[in-house]
Amino acid sequence: MANNVQILTDQNWDADVLKSSVPVLVDFWADWCVPCKTLLPTVEALAAQYEGRLRVGKFNVEENPDVPFKYNITTLPTLLVLKNGQVAEQRIGLISKDKLTALLEPLLK
């Protein structure tokens, strides 16, 4: 995994996501989820493209049950974009890099 993609957990959620000074793209995934693995290169590419403007993290739902329960994450992959501690956008399933870029651009202005 690219080193500009952060591992997010129930423990670091508040500090690294809710209190982030920049928007945060969170990829909720699990080891057994094939579409999640397909999405990984897109997530890593966006982390590199928006470094410094967007925090990007992966959240393993198998190892950290609290946050997915709180945000009602029931389908994988799910992408959340949080800005100022609030969910600004949510997408479920595979999404192209172009569509994700179009979704993120307005939030980064």
Q: Which domains does the chain have, with CATH numbers?
A: 5-108 (3.40.30.10)
Contact 102, 95 (CB under 8 A): no
Per DSSP bridges, beta strands 55-60 and 5-8 are parallel
Q: Is 33 a catalytic residue?
A: yes
Which residue in the list 5, 25, 26, 36 is annotated as catalytic? 36
Catalytic residue among 33, 40, 88, 103: 33
**CA 75-70-99 angle, 5° bins:** 45
Q: How far apart are CA 17 and CA 70, in angstroms?
A: 14
The H-assigned helical ranges of 6-105 are: 13, 34-49, 66-70, 97-104
pLDDT tier, 1 (very low <50, low <70, confident <90, very high otherwise): low
pTM of the model: 0.96
- Say what the pLDDT of residue 2 is: 61
* 55 noted as active-site residue: no
Per-residue model confidence as pLDDT tens digits over 62-87: 999 999 999 999 999 999 999 999 99
